[in-house]
């Protein structure tokens, strides 16, 4: 696969064509349902899968922000049908790679030599391909196994183009001022992800802070890296789909579930910085029992005031204090003191109920994420959230909650039981220091 549409005209044309096909197929099914006098659920599920496959094919061709959207969709079956989420899950692991000749050209352009001249061995077949780049396995001349991530050509330009297209739609749906705020947050973070030197620096920080008994990250090799080629040591492990396919025991699922849970909480006192790309394709289940963590392009540094108020949600929901919930949500720009009280009361009531559910794992020393009622309730609240048509909250929510929601989705998919005692103490200790400052 060598074609990579990068112009605004090409990309908007593909998006429009896909949208028309999907819309027409649903309109046709709706007409059939009317003529038959009932909704054909099996036909609807089949259509959902077919449309998801069509969308994934076009998203794969577009890559960039389009594939990022597919990754997000795969983690959220509260807002899209389960059949679609299952198809979009391919974006976490399996995307068609660019061709081998182009790979050699890109490496030479960035590192000055062809890959076979730089490395003792370089596998021309991509090990993995994702939204912004693809990874190849290689070996240094001293025998060290490495992973070489190569950015697709012109992907940085496509981000600018795609965000411009998204801005046109969002301006009309949610208003220009709010649309600009959210679009700019996403645009800046995506641009950061295309800077592999920035990712290398993130990787070094996480490697120094988190590689140990529980976690392991690759080590960045800057002498074999540029802004568009990133070389790091290779981690040998299984992705979650491979792990689950091996029919693991409950004990094994609980073990790795605890690793995910602990990784999230280990970042709470980390200079307001969190790993913000928690989808299954970015983690490895290591043979030694550690959790391998990959892809450090999306790391979110929040303003201290926002981050501390986000952490305060733990206290106010654990206490189920409506007045304090309102105050913290106002500080987080979820509640607008200038809006009508009736609108705010409805939202605060919803936020209280959803937040209490979301934090319910902390009310138990051990919480079972495999309980069907919990995942069903989370999905139900996700659907109910769409009733509040106007977007709410600080732009910083976008990537901080991406980690939190992604964590829960992974734990529910694993069906893991986690011990929350230590995590409660981490949160309480952090908030005690914040409130005392």
**In this structure, are 241 and 354 located in the same domain?**
yes
**CATH code at position 158:** 3.30.200
Instruction: Give the separation between CA 60 and CA 274, rounded to whole angstroms.
Output: 28
- Residue 196: give the domain boundaries: 96-129+132-234
**Radius of gyration for the alpha carbons in the chain, expressed in angstroms and rounded:** 23
Question: Are residues 391 and 260 located together in one domain of the fold?
Answer: yes
Q: Which of 35, 70, 93 is the last residue of a domain?
A: 93
Looking at the structure of the chain, the number of domains it has is 3
Residue partners of 245: CB distance under 8 A and separation at least 6: none
Tell whether 274 and 375 lie within a shared domain. yes
The pLDDT of residue 76: 46
* Strand ranges for 249-378 from DSSP E: 273-275, 283-285, 291-293, 299-301, 366-368
Last residue of a domain, one of 234, 261, 278: 234
* 289 plus 425 within the same structural domain: yes
Task: Identify the three-state secondary structure at position 25.
Answer: helix
Q: How many residues does the chain have?
A: 437
1, part of any domain: no
Q: Are residues 204 and 172 in the same domain?
A: yes
Domain boundary among 76, 93, 110: 93
Q: Do residue 301 and residue 359 come from a single domain?
A: yes
Q: Is residue 2 part of a domain?
A: no
CA angle 79-245-260, nearest 5°? 60
**pLDDT digit string, tens, across residues 361-380:** 999 999 999 998 999 998 88
Q: Are residues 264 and 410 in the same domain?
A: yes
| 252: in domain | yes
Do the domain assignments include residue 191? Answer: yes
Residue 170 confidence (pLDDT): 56
- CA angle 205–116–298, rounded 5-degree value: 25
pLDDT of residue 75: 44
Low-confidence ranges of the chain (pLDDT < 70): 1-27, 29-31, 33, 35, 44, 48-49, 51-95, 161-162, 164-179, 339-343, 386, 389-391
Q: Which of 155, 37, 39, 22 is nearest to 95 (CA)?
A: 155
In this structure, the answer to whether residues 311 and 381 fall within a common structural domain is yes
280 and 242 share a domain? yes
């Amino acid at each position: 696969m060598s074609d990579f549409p990068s112009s605004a005209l090409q990309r908007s044309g593909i998006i429009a064509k896909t949208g028309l096909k999907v819309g027409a197929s649903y309109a046709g099914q709706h007409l059939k349902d009317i003529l038959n006098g009932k909704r054909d659920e099996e036909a609807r599920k089949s259509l959902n899968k077919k449309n998801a496959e069509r969308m994934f094919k076009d998203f794969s061709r577009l890559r960039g922000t389009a594939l990022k959207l597919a990754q997000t969709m795969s983690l959220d079956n509260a807002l899209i049908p389960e059949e679609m989420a299952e198809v979009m899950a391919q974006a976490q692991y399996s995307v068609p790679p660019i061709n081998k000749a182009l790979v050699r050209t890109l490496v030479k352009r960035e590192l000055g030599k062809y890959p076979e001249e730089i490395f003792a061995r370089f596998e021309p077949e991509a090990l993995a391909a994702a939204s912004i780049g693809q990874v190849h396995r290689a070996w240094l001349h001293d025998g060290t196994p490495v992973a070489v991530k190569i950015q697709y050509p012109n992907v940085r330009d496509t981000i600018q183009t795609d965000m411009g297209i998204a801005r046109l739609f969002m301006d009309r749906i949610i208003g220009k001022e709010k649309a600009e705020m959210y679009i700019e947050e996403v645009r800046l973070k995506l641009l950061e992800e295309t800077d592999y030197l920035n990712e290398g620096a993130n990787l070094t920080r996480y490697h120094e802070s988190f590689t140990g008994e529980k976690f392991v990250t690759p080590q960045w090799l800057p002498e074999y890296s540029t802004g568009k080629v990133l070389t790091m040591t290779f981690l040998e492990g299984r992705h979650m789909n491979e792990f689950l396919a091996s029919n693991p025991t409950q004990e094994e699922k609980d073990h790795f579930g605890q690793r995910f849970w602990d990784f999230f909480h280990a970042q709470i006192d980390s200079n307001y910085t969190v790993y913000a790309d928690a989808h299954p394709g970015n983690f490895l289940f290591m043979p030694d029992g550690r959790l391998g963590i990959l892809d450090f392009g999306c790391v979110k540094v929040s303003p201290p005031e926002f981050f501390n108020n986000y952490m305060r949600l733990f206290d106010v929901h654990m206490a189920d204090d409506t007045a304090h919930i309102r105050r913290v949500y106002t500080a987080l720009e979820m509640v607008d003191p200038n809006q009508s009280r009736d609108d705010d009361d409805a939202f605060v009531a919803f936020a209280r109920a959803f937040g209490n559910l979301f934090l319910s794992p902390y009310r138990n020393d051990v919480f079972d994420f495999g309980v069907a009622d919990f995942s069903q309730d989370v999905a139900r609240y996700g659907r109910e959230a769409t009733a509040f048509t106007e977007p709410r909250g600080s732009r910083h929510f976008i990537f901080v909650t991406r980690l939190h929601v992604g964590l829960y989705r992974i734990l529910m998919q694993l069906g893991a039981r986690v011990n929350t005692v230590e995590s409660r103490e981490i949160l309480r200790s952090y908030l005690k220091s914040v409130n005392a400052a």
